[in-house]
Amino acid sequence: MKRPAEIISTLAIVVAIIWFVFEPGFEPVITALFGIAGLIASLKIKKGEKIPEYLGKFRHAIKGVQVRWEAEKSLKPSSLHEARFGIISPLIDELAELHASTEDASLRASTGELIALAKSLQYHQTYLDGGRSYNDFWKKGDDLLIEVLKI
């Protein structure tokens, strides 16, 4: 969601461009410069707030993933396709987005490890072994979600 300062600055730049077309002179240049300065100032504000704001969105998204995981697990489906690609894939996407948006080295390391664990879970093989590999899939997924929720 854009902030009011971003909207006003963008609007000022658009007005300045239209003004350039219809009235050449010095005033449109000043308007454009103020619009650009406003956008730069709003970007500096966002840079400092990006990680905490995104962490809130990340945690909210992970709670949704957790609810879907628990619902799918309680169904005891014969196919793990939905769990692998409908739940684990969005989890990987959320982790990758968090990984890309932070500069915190420890957070980047933990998200990198969690992405690798999620990918390995996604490719987990099930066999005709009396349900051992099937149950192992759900156990590993539970453990993965516990680790993700610690972020």
Return d(Cα 104, Cα 110) in angstroms, integer: 10
> How many separate domains does the chain show?
1
Q: Find the domain containing 16 and state its range.
A: 4-149
Query: Looking at the whole model, is its pTM more than 0.75?
Result: no
Average pLDDT over residues 96-106: 86
CA neighbor of 68 nearest in space, from 82, 54, 55: 82
Asked if 139 contacts 126 with a C-beta cutoff of 8 angstroms, the reply is no
| Length reported for the chain | 151
The 10s digit of each residue's pLDDT in 7-33 is 666 666 666 566 555 665 555 555 555
Return d(Cα 139, Cα 15) in angstroms, integer: 58
Average pLDDT over residues 56-78: 89
**In the structure, what pLDDT confidence band is assigned to residue 103 with cuts at 50, 70 and 90?**
confident
- Per-residue confidence (pLDDT) for residue 35, from 0 to 100: 58
